[in-house]
Amino acid sequence: MAGPRQDPSLYRHRDTVPIRRALVSVSDKSGLLDLAAALTEAGVEIVSTGSTAATIREAGHAVTDVAAVTGVAEMLDGRVKTLHPKIHGGLLADLRLEDHERQLQDLGIEPFELVVVNLYPFVETVASGAEGDDIVEQIDIGGPAMVRAAAKNHANVAIVVSPESYPAVIESVRAGGTTLVQRRELAARAFAHTAAYDTAVAAWFAEGTLGEGEDLPAHLTIKAERLATLRYGENSHQRAAIYTRAGGHGIAQATQLQGKEMSYNNYVDADAALRAAYDMVLPSVAIIKHANPCGIATTAPNALDPIASAHLRAHECDPVSAYGGVIAANGTVTLKMAENLKDIFTEVIVAPDFEPAALEVFKAKKNLRLLKLPEDWQQERMDVRLVSGGLLLQDADRFPDDIWSVAKNWELVSGEKPGDDELENLIFAWKACRAVKSNAIVLAKDNATVGVGMGQVNRVDSCRLAVERAGGRAAGSVAASDAFFPFADGAQVLIDAGITAIVQPGGSVRDEEVVDAARKAGVTMFFTGERHFFH
């Protein structure tokens, strides 16, 4: 239990605190030598540990080893270095109090005015694919303890957890010390830093112990750092910002190569575009408006430029809606695709890479936003959605990587078994359907959407919308429904439009009526046994 707080009248005011002694222990050595040089020039004693001390010493700067301060050598393979009263006494002493100052003098402990610590690379180690003890060894113990101690004592100590803060600290050292306002801001960043770190560790343990059929975590902490403040949210009267989550590999981690700053709606649509394009195995493109696909397609067979072919075929599904859309490609955007887009107004293009020649073409469209995905982009294993007063957590809705595995458990309930071409088309429609807001109906031909019915409050309206958008292209196409047909009327709309095959989950009390309508028309129908709602 913490001791009682001292009488407020005993506290001496401290605003600017001169830096005489600094504790430096960092995993990320970026900017370290510039900081060490500035501290040395100002006559600051540098106390350090392990590789940090060695790096500073090799650069010709004086440094005091922590072991020389504590009188105890580092032990247990470096697990214990700074966990000692002569370190933490110097971090936690509140020198606004004469009694704390006297206790330090009696114990022979010198205070620190600056602490520079960044933690073991736990998140990076997990991301590298390491396992087991290799990850556990990157769980920092002494580092967070020092950071939290210094941050708590920000009235006397400046805590720095990122090389980004070094220039401001160097300036303060040269100006005579850190101010209380500065130290409080640094403390806020420090507590956020340790909170994010602990969250990443907790998430790894929770994920690693969660087996098939086990309950989801009883406790869930999600920590994210603000990447940018946006102009406004979904509408102009709403505030908004974009945050990045430790360990994320998606839109929030993409690099913007050109164009206006991203908006809230741009991010939402770009994420929906990824959902649509990255389900496909072949070179594919998805065009999104208001978080719904207006066109998804894979490349035409034997296309000279597969990704450009996929884009043209996706655009043909609904050229009117594609105006002002957001595009995602699951392959490098080529010069040909860029040239095809020259006269099409587009808000955002998301891709794993862009050919240099394509970037040159896009320079003429200065407002066009280009997002390059991180190299380690991958779909998340879990989906999180905020609701009033809490959040929902679920497994991510994923498809097998192997295209034919998608259909291996389908049940043929009507018509003859299709050939590979038609089956592949059905698989494409089924995958595309997952990216469409429910109720969702997709009509596809030659691995490209020709009609999409989305977001209707009943399935028959979605069927009518998909057929209407497809027009004459509906005849000879295949259809996918994200959930079962509650009545035969929706399926009949598709049958009357001339579709040749339907894939749907099945499971309705009226399945037999729906199947009977397909049989009478000679239409192939599969039950998948699973649905793909997307709300």
Catalytic residues, by residue number, are 152, 290
Put the strands of the sheet holding 325-329 in their side by side order: 255-258, 369-372, 346-351, 325-329, 284-289, 292-298
> Rounded CA gap, 229 and 419, in Å?
52
> Rounded CA gap, 242 and 471, in Å?
40
The amino acid present at 87, given as its one-letter code, is I
* Helix pair 98-107, 85-92: axis angle to 10 deg: 160
Which residue has tokens 């999180």?
384
Backbone phi and psi for residue 293, each to the nearest 5 degrees, phi listed first: -70, 130
> Rounded CA gap, 91 and 442, in Å?
63
Which residue has tokens 């206790």?
103
Q: Is 193 exposed, middle or buried (0-12, 13-18, 19+ CB in 10 A)?
A: buried
> Rounded CA gap, 528 and 127, in Å?
34
> Rounded CA gap, 535 and 533, in Å?
6
Range 465-474 contact pairs with CB under 8 angstroms and sequence separation of 24 or more: 465/441, 466/441, 466/442, 466/494, 467/443, 467/493, 467/494, 467/497, 469/317, 469/318, 470/443, 470/497, 473/443, 473/445, 474/443, 474/450, 474/498, 474/499
Put the strands of the sheet holding 45-48 in their side by side order: 64-65, 45-48, 21-26, 114-118, 158-160
- Please enumerate in sequence order all residues whose Cβ is within 8 A of that of 116, keeping only pairs 6 or more positions apart, or say none: 22, 23, 24, 25, 26, 35, 160, 169
Q: Record the tokens describing residue 267, joined without a space.
A: 């991010």
Region of residue 354 (phi > 0: left; psi between -120 and 50: alpha; otherwise: beta): beta
Helix (H) or strand (E) run with residue 241 in it: strand 241-245
For 45-66, the DSSP string reads EEEE-HHHHHHHHHTT---EEH
Q: Which of 304, 308, 300, 372 is nearest to 344 (CA)?
A: 308
